[in-house]
Amino acid sequence: MKKILLVAFLTFAAAFTPIAAKYTVAQISPLSLAFLRFGMATVLLLLVCAHKKVNLRIEKEDFTKFLFTGFLVIPFNQIVFLVGIKLSAASHSGVLYSCTPMIVYVCSIFLKHEKFQLKKIFTISLTIIGIFLIFYENIVNVNKDGNEILIGDILLFFAVLSFGMYLAFSKNLIVKYGSLKAQTLSFSIGSIMYIPIFLYDIQNVNFSGVNFYGWLGYIHLTFIVAFASYFLYSYTTKFIHTSTLTTLTNMAPVFTLIFSWILLKESLSYFFIIGAVITFIGVFLTQLMSRARKNEPVEVTNL
């Protein structure tokens, strides 16, 4: 039951992230929004660490690793994601982020976290094909804003790449230090790195034009995603393989499509039913494979 609830929450958070970001970046500068959301999330994580009396000291050999994960998750990922979502569309973000499982899996094989499995590549690919079919018409019909959307999509691809690498490279740090400590240190280092960019862009911050939906989007991006979702994602990887988890939560783009149609007035295509069926098949097969591997030892660390 705990696994189901965690996957459901993470799916909900991921599904509404592109929509919330689309609303918020239209009212708050993307470069400043990155620091405002992750800066707040970092403060909240530090408060939780203080409450739990978590010792944030690390071994010297791991400092470079935390520098790398901190850079990936905040300065690099947030700039390309928020600027990309402003130029592109929520649906495009969904389809590109569906590539996360493949990136995580390749990185995990390289880092020797997982073994190469042809069947797993097949199920992940099924999910990705399904999502691409769902958004097919939105991708090929770029119309007059094609160049801007293309640039946004390229940035979103790098956002997916950096996020997948962050998930894979933080695995050993989570195993060694626990989810809370590893997450807090990566966020703290990443936030510190981002300060010069925020100071450069702070002149573009003006909250007078932020409406209810803008604030609601900020709350979702900050408290639901940056604080709760990122931490729970790291925590969940302790008992669900990372590539399996990313595939299960890959149902999120389907919900993104539905609510993009309702809230952002994005049109639905007839490819939706076909793509949804293929996606469901991919997720179902992944779940079967996960059950088949239930006797594998699970990495457990202290939270």
Average pLDDT for residues 28-46, to the nearest whole number? 95
Using CA atoms, how far apart are residues 298 and 12, in angstroms rounded to an integer?
26
Pairwise pLDDT comparison (192 vs 88), residue with the higher score: 192
pLDDT confidence band for 292 (50 / 70 / 90): low
Which among 119-128, 140-149, 170-179 has the top mean pLDDT? 170-179
Is residue 42 within 8 Å of 187, Cβ to Cβ?
Answer: yes
Cα-flanking dihedrals φ and ψ of residue 130, to 5°? Answer: -60, -45
Q: What is the pLDDT of residue 47?
A: 95
Using CA atoms, how far apart are residues 187 and 42, in angstroms rounded to an integer?
6
Using CA atoms, how far apart are residues 65 and 166, in angstroms rounded to an integer?
11
The secondary structure of 1-42 as a DSSP string is -HHHHHHHHHHHHHHHHHHHHHHHHTTS-HHHHHHHHHHHHH
Q: What is the pLDDT of residue 302?
A: 36
pTM of the predicted model, to two decimals? 0.80
| Cα 148–chain centre separation | 23
Q: Write down the mean pLDDT value for the chain.
A: 81
Q: What is the pLDDT of residue 284?
A: 67
> For the ranges 9-18, 76-85, 189-198, 274-283, which has the lowest average pLDDT?
274-283
